[in-house]
Structure 1
Amino acid sequence: MHEEDHPGDEPCFAHHIIGGHVVDADTWRDVARFRKAERSRLYAARRALSQAEQKAQATRVMAMLTEEIGPPEGRTIAGYWLIRGEMDLRPWLSDMAAHGAQIALPVVIAKGAPVAFHRWQPGATMARGVWNIPVPAEPDPVQPDTVIVPLLGVDAAGYRLGNGGGYYDMTLAALDPRPRIIGVGHGFCALPTIFPQPWDIPMEVVLLGDGVRNSPSHPEG
C-alpha cells in the first residue's frame, strides 16, 4: 500500500514525536534519509526482475508458506493485494481458501490509521480503496491469526522496510491478540539493518525468494 515516510510526526524542540514515541530529530533525519535511499535502490531492483524470475521467486515463497502455515482449515490468514512489484501470492491465497482457510486483505480505513482486514475469496467483487488499491467491495471485517506482510527490505533481526507510512506497524501493534507475522520478499531485499525505531514491529518469520528462511528471535516486552 502507498505510504509516506513515517507514521506522522510533530516537532518538539530537538525531538520529534512519532507514533507516540519521542525520537531525536537528528537521528530520525539520518534514518529517514537512509531508508529513502534504500527504498529507491530496492524499487529499482524489483523493476529489473524479469517476469520469469518474479514467478520463480514467488513459487519458492509460496512453497515455503505452505510448509510454514501447516493445515489451513480453520485458519484466518491475511494476505495482500500486490502493488509496486510486490510478490504475487494470489494463487497461494486461492489455494488456502480452497482448503478451508478464511482469507482477508488489508483495507485502509483512514490515512494515518491502522488498517482493517476484510474477508476475501477468489472471484470476489473488488472496489478501489485508498491509494487506488483493490479491496473487497463488501466489507466483512475479520481478525487474522496470521498476517503475511510484503517486504521491500528486511534486516537480520526481522525489521521490515516497507513503503514508508507505518501502516503495518500501527496495525500489528494494535491487534490483540497479536497474530503470527510472516514477512515475504524477493531474494535481494536482505539488509544488515534498517536502523529500527521504537514503533517498528519485527517479523516472526521471514521467507525470501532465493529460498532463505529466517526466524529472528526477539525477547518479550
Structure 2
Amino acid sequence: MQIDQLFQLMKDGTLETLYMVIVSTIIAYVIGIPTGVILFITDKNGISENSIVNKIVGVIVNLLRSVPFIILLVAILPFTRALVGTTIGSTATIVPLVVAAAPFVARMVESSLKEVDAGIIEAAQAMGSSNWQIITKVLLPEAKPSLIVGSTIAVTTILGYSAMAGFVGGGGLGAIAINYGYYRYQTNVMLVTVVLLVIVVQIFQEAGMKIAGKSDKRTR
C-alpha cells in the first residue's frame, strides 16, 4: 500500500472512529445520567427512596452490563437494522455502542453522586429545596469533577468497543486493523492503527483530566 493511500485510509478511519465515539458518548450520557440519578435517589436513604424502582432499574442496568459487547452487538442486529436500516458501517455501530455504554455510564454517575457529602444534601433539604432542585443545583454540580473523570473512562471504553465492532462490519480504525492487519496480514497497517488509537485515547484522557481539575473546587 502506497503512503498516500495509507494516509487517506487512516484519515477516514480516524474520522469515522471519532464520529462513532463522540456521538455514542453523548447519547449514552443523555440516557445514563437520568438513569444514574434514578438509581441514586431511589436507593436506601436516598432523597426519593423507592426499593421497587431501584431494583427494576438496577436489574436492567446489570443485565446489559453483564453481556459481553461482541455478543450484545450480534444479539441486537435486528434492532439495529430496524432503527437505522442497516447493520454495517459507523452509523449502525452507534446503536450497540449506546446500548452497551449507557448502563456503564449510569453506574458511574451513581458512583459519582455517592461521593457528594451527605451534609450538603441535608442542608438543601433543611432549606426546603425540592428533589428536582437538589438534583440539579446540588448533586450534579457537586459531582461535576467526578462525572468528568468518569466521562474520560467512558470514552476510552466506548473506543475499545468500537474497535471490536470491526469484526461484524463496523467502521473506523478497528475495521481497518481487522480487514488489513488481520485478514490481509499487513502488519504496518495494524501498527499504524494501534498508534492512532493510543493517541486518540491519550488526547481524550488528558483533556478530560484537565477539565476535571479546573472544575474541582478543592484544587483552587
Relative to the length of structure 1, the TM-score reads 0.25
Larger RCO (CA under 8 A, 6+ residues apart): 2
Relative to the length of structure 2, the TM-score reads 0.25
**Greater radius of gyration (CA):** 2
Question: Counting helix residues as a fraction of each chain, which structure ranks higher?
Answer: 2
Question: Counting strand residues as a fraction of each chain, which structure ranks higher?
Answer: 1
